[in-house]
Amino acid sequence: MSSCSRVALVTGANKGIGFAITRDLCRKFSGDVVLTARDEARGRAAVQQLQAEGLSPRFHQLDIDDPQSIRALRDFLRKEYGGLNVLVNNAGIAFRRTLFKLETGRSKLSVLETRHERG
């Protein structure tokens, strides 16, 4: 278990807004900051960039569209910190090119299913 009692985690943090939030948390948060990214090489490069600025984020791979990746992060946080104090949920999931896909002879809306009731 980490010697630090508090932990903040930023999803999708290897670039853009997530990267800037991670930088500010590293400067101001009294605890560990975990930078996550779907692509491990890009995530580790982002950590190295912040380390070059004198900051000390940790890295953990996370693909929010992959249940196994989510479970691995959960297990890491439980083991290292006993949980999570701050979550910045910055990562998003890009839509596939088509919202509909053919499955067992039916078209299903793969992202959203909206029901309208008429009164």
Q: Does pLDDT of 12 surpass 70?
A: yes
Architecture of domain 7-93: 3-Layer(aba) Sandwich (3.40)
Domain-wise residue ranges, the chain: 7-93
Query: What b-and-e string marks burial along 32-51, b requiring 16 or more CB atoms within 10 Å of the CB?
Result: bbbbbbbeeeebeebbeebe
Local confidence band at 112 (pLDDT 50, 70, 90 cut-offs): very low
pLDDT at 98 over 80: no
pLDDT at 96: 57
Are the CB atoms for 37 and 61 separated by under 8 Å?
yes
Query: Is 49 a residue whose pLDDT tops 50?
Result: yes
pTM, whole model, 2 decimals?
0.76
